[in-house]
């Protein structure tokens, strides 16, 4: 210890990192800021020495006890596996967000972080929190919906969970990587106030609550400049305004310069084999040429080391591999899937009776497994995929385009839930055959799928492969038709009013089918609420056409007519009725809300009561929205409470509004300003179902950025 004073665990992380940097040579510091692809890379036959074969690898410095950084994707479990043995796949981020359950998000993060740690990783590329602005974005499933408060709170919780394992988590992709089309070239055009009040606020809340060690910059440009070399974004907002003391890493292939990017705030070049050239290798020459201060290199190294100290990764330099309690972890995945299922419609078919005699089960893969989202977050499940469809070519990005089904069979799960039922399975390829099966059975269950993936957006929100026609025909044949949506996000539903029930299960993860069966048969209560709006049609979106879809090559700009008002706020502002509003979700019981009381002063608090007035247990999600702010009509979620209530039970909830959401961001201040005046809040079961309101006077306040 005496010759390694930074190993004194009683010192704060910042001080330990400072002591260590002082002992490092320039070459050693450069080692830390140059990241590599951790797996086989283009033109490379072997793994880098010591790499586990995953997304990223940064060699350590053995002399000083600095471990290699072994980086793995992502928010839904350990992806890109080196050992082929599998890992536990959580349901998609949208399912987690739909739980509106912070403790569950933390538990899920803890579970995937524990697997990362057990497999020898110490950096997890998790924490995806880009707001859903573009419902066609292929990556929405990885993220946490359209509201900055909900997404930020859930991201923070999940990151806390990951990092409780001695594993550094990122938060990503900073910022406005809202679509995949043109992600490497597009420029997101937005004004500062709108950005601060929306996407930046989601990151700000996620960082405050989760304290991630790293931020991953986005591929795209923001107002003209690449996010990975955006001085205002990285130096001013993140590091200065928010006081972030960890490091910024680039996305893979998203670094565009050496000294320029590092001066703008980028601390580590990731997977540099994917960049046009290994830019950060030029930093040494730039220092010699007097173009780059050595002090900034020290800062970069310190920023990378601080979180390694903070989470404990420096104190266990040899990654410890250990056994993973698979059943317990699969149980977490199943509970998350159950909590994330959103019952959109139920005209009485659900819950199903276990003594049901016959079921028509219809869906292309409903006998095999549940669909997963594609791309870098894709988790190889224990035992391998139930089905995998590969694209014809195998270029670097084509591996993101593999369609995969996890081995959790709806057919088997339904049969286990209703052992005496005759289940007639058909793929639905022949619509007549499906309709005949539906006619012959008590209930028809259709598993409808929409595949989305990183790298590609969907061209529109309708279900592919004639599934709309299939559903309409089955609904015409059986009044008890239940549609289970396994999708990357919102879809349109021309058949909505013809079916009896609709359950949004997102990509439900390793135990997805078991979770769906538990909800359908009422062994688990549906308690999920939409974390995003389901639009009635693309015509109602701020950008009715997918930006850049006709741009064959080259750069383009994306404007956001909604400004800060992503999702439901846009629909409210424009008086457009969605298909299903943000926050919507039914239960098998009913709730009454009462006694909404608002307390003013310089902050806003509210209390309310919820009573379960139905016959079954269930969870109420009381949502409090700001509907008027000092004379301005608005609609903004300011808090919620998820209350698990037995039949007849009443509970009281209290929420404290984040003062930033009460006001507006004023770049001239600079900071947040809530004007003095009357503020009206409303309590409801969704953004479209506000039931009680209360007014309160606020004295007004300003807050720093």
In the complex, minimum distance from the CB of residue 28 to ligand BGC, in angstroms, rounded to a whole number: 25
Q: State in angstroms the smallest separation of the CB of 394 from ligand BGC.
A: 16
Residue given tokens 């910059």 in the structure block = 217
Ramachandran area for residue 463 (φ above 0: left; ψ -120 to 50: alpha; else beta): beta
CB of 651 to ligand BGC, least distance (A): 39
- By CB under 6 A, residue 57 contacts ligand BGC: no
Residue number, 106 or 251, with CB nearest to ligand BGC: 251
Identity of the residue, 74 or 131, whose beta carbon is nearer to ligand BGC in the bound complex = 74
**At its nearest, how many Å lie between ligand BGC and the CB of residue 460?**
24
Closest C-alpha to 586, from 348, 333, 354: 348
Q: Are strands 221-222 and 225-226 parallel, antiparallel or unpaired?
A: antiparallel
Nearer to ligand BGC, 29 or 172 (CB): 172
Nearer to ligand BGC, 127 or 583 (CB): 127
Least Å distance, CB 461 to ligand BGC, is 23
Residue 187's H or E segment, with its range, is strand 187-189
280 within 8 A of 269, measured Cβ to Cβ? yes
**Residue 341: count of CB within 10 angstroms of its CB:** 30
* Min CB(252)–ligand BGC separation in Å: 4
Write a three-state SS string for 231-260: HHHHHHHHHHHCCCCCEEECCCCCCCCCHH
Contacts of 131 (CB under 8 A, 6+ apart): 143, 145, 146, 147, 148, 151, 178, 198, 199, 202, 566, 567
By beta-carbon proximity to ligand BGC, the closer residue of 21 and 51 is 51
CB of 87 to ligand BGC, least distance (A): 15
55 binds ligand BGC (CB under 6 A): yes
Shortest Cβ 436–ligand BGC spacing (Å)? 45
Identify residues 150-209 at the interface with ligand BGC (CB under 6 A). 172
Q: How far is the CB of 556 from ligand BGC (least distance, A)?
A: 19
- Count of residues that interact with ligand BGC, criterion CB under 6 A: 8
Residue 252 or residue 665: which is nearer to ligand BGC going by CB?
252
Residue closer to ligand BGC by CB (options 37, 313) is 37
Q: Indicate the SS3 state at residue 221.
A: strand
Measured from the CB atom, the residue of 55 and 596 that comes closer to ligand BGC is 55
Q: Shortest distance, CB of residue 633 to ligand BGC, whole angstroms?
A: 37
Q: Which residue has the tokens 């670097």?
A: 396
Q: Which is closer to ligand BGC, CB of 172 or CB of 529?
A: 172
Does residue 73 touch ligand BGC according to CB under 6 A?
yes
Could you tell me the two tokens for 309?
């100290």
User: What is the distance of C-alpha 515 from the center of its chain?
Assistant: 20
| DSSP codes joined into one string, 624-685 | EEEEEETTEEEEEEEEEEEEEE-TT-EEEEEEE--HHHHSEEETTTTEEEE-SEEEEEEEEE
Which of the residues 223 through 252 are near ligand BGC (CB under 6 A)? 251-252
Compute the least distance from the CB of residue 659 to ligand BGC, in Å. Answer: 32
**Which pairing describes strands 168-174 and 123-124: parallel, antiparallel, or unpaired?**
parallel
272, 376, 527, 686: which one contacts ligand BGC (CB under 6 A)?
376
Shortest distance, position 253 Cβ to ligand BGC, whole Å: 7
Which residue lies nearer to ligand BGC by CB, 228 or 688?
A: 228
Measured from the CB atom, the residue of 274 and 530 that comes closer to ligand BGC is 274
How far is it, in rounded angstroms, from Cα 234 to Cα 218? 11
Which of 250, 249, 253, 248 is CA-nearest to residue 276? 253
Would you say 127 and 105 are in contact if contact means Cβ atoms under 8 Å apart? no
C-alpha torsion sign, points 220, 221, 226, 228: negative
Supply the angle between the helices 294-311 and 26-33 in degrees, to the nearest 10: 60
Give the distance, in angstroms, between the CA of residue 29 and the centroid of all CA atoms in the same chain: 33
Contact status: 125 vs ligand BGC (CB under 6 A):
yes
Interstrand relation of 36-37 and 56-58 (parallel, antiparallel or unpaired): antiparallel
Q: Does 562 bind ligand BGC (CB under 6 A)?
A: no
Measured from the CB atom, the residue of 127 and 363 that comes closer to ligand BGC is: 127
Among positions 245-304, residues that touch ligand BGC (CB under 6 A) are 251-252
Q: Assess 215 for contact with ligand BGC (CB under 6 A).
A: no
Q: In the complex, which residues of this chain contact ligand BGC (CB under 6 A)?
A: 55, 73-74, 125, 172, 251-252, 376
């Amino acid at each position: 210890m005496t010759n390694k004073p930074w190993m004194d665990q009683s010192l704060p992380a910042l001080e330990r990192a400072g002591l260590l940097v002082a002992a490092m040579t320039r070459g050693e510091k450069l080692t830390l800021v140059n990241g590599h692809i951790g797996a086989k890379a283009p033109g490379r036959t072997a793994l880098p020495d010591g790499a586990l074969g995953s997304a990223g690898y940064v060699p350590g410095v053995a002399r000083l006890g600095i471990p290699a950084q072994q980086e793995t994707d992502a928010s839904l479990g350990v992806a890109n596996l080196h050992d082929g043995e599998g890992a536990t796949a959580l349901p998609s981020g949208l399912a987690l967000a739909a739980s509106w359950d912070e403790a569950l998000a933390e538990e899920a993060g803890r579970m995937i972080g524990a697997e990362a740690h057990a497999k020898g990783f110490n950096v997890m590329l998790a924490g995806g929190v880009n707001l859903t602005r573009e419902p066609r974005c292929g990556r929405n499933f990885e993220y946490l919906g359209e509201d900055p408060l909900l997404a930020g709170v859930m991201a923070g919780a999940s990151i806390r969970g990951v990092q409780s394992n001695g594993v550094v988590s990122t938060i990503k992709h900073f910022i406005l990587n809202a679509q995949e089309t043109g992600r490497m070239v597009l420029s997101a055009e937005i004004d500062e106030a709108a950005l601060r009040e929306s996407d930046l606020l989601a990151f700000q809340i996620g960082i405050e609550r989760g304290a991630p060690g790293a931020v991953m910059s986005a591929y795209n440009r923001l107002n003209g400049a690449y996010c990975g070399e955006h001085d205002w974004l990285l130096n001013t907002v993140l590091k200065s305004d928010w006081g972030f003391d960890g490091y910024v890493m680039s996305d893979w292939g998203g670094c565009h310069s050496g000294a320029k990017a590092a001066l703008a705030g980028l601390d580590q070049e990731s997977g540099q084999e994917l960049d046009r050239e290994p830019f950060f290798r030029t930093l040494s020459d730039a220092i010699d040429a007097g173009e780059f201060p050595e002090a900034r290199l020290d800062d970069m190294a310190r920023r990378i080391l601080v979180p390694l100290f903070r989470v404990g990764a420096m104190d266990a330099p040899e990654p410890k591999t250990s056994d993973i309690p698979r059943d317990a972890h699969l149980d977490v995945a199943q509970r998350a899937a159950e909590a994330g299922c959103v019952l959109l419609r139920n005209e009485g078919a659900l819950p199903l009776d276990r003594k049901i005699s016959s079921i028509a089960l219809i869906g292309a893969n409903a006998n095999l497994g549940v669909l997963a989202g594609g791309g870098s977050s894709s988790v190889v499940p224990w035992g391998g995929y139930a089905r995998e469809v590969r694209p014809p070519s195998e270029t670097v990005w084509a591996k993101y385009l593999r369609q995969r089904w996890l081995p959790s069979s709806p057919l088997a799960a339904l049969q286990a839930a209703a052992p005496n039922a005759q289940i007639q399975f058909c793929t639905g390829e022949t619509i007549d055959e499906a309709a005949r099966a539906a006619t012959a059975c008590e209930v028809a269950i259709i598993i409808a799928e929409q595949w989305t993936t990183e790298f590609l957006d969907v061209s529109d929100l309708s279900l592919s492969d004639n599934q709309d026609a299939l559903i309409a025909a089955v609904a015409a044949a059986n009044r008890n038709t239940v549609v289970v949506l396994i999708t990357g996000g919102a879809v349109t539903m021309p058949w909505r009013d013809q079916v009896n029930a609709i359950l949004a299960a997102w990509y439900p993860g390793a135990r997805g089918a078991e979770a769906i069966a538990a909800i359908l048969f009422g062994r688990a209560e549906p308690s999920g609420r939409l974390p995003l709006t389901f639009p009635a049609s693309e015509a109602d979106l701020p950008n009715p056409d997918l930006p850049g879809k006709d741009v064959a090559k080259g750069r383009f700009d994306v404007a956001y007519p909604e400004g800060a008002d992503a999702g439901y706020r846009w629909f409210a502002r424009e008086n457009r009725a969605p298909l299903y509003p943000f926050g919507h979700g039914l239960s098998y019981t009913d709730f009454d809300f009462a006694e909404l009381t608002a307390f003013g002063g310089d902050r806003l608090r509210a209390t309310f009561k919820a009573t379960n007035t139905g016959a079954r247990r269930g969870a109420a999600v009381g949502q409090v929205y700001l509907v008027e702010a000092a004379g301005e009509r608005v609609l903004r979620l300011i808090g919620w409470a998820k209350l698990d209530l037995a039949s007849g039970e009443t509970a009281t909830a209290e929420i404290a509004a984040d003062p930033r959401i009460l006001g507006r961001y004023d770049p001239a201040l600079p900071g947040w300003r809530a004007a003095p005046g009357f503020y009206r809040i409303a309590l409801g079961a969704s953004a479209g179902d506000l039931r009680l309101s209360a007014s309160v006077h606020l004295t007004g306040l300003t807050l720093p950025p």
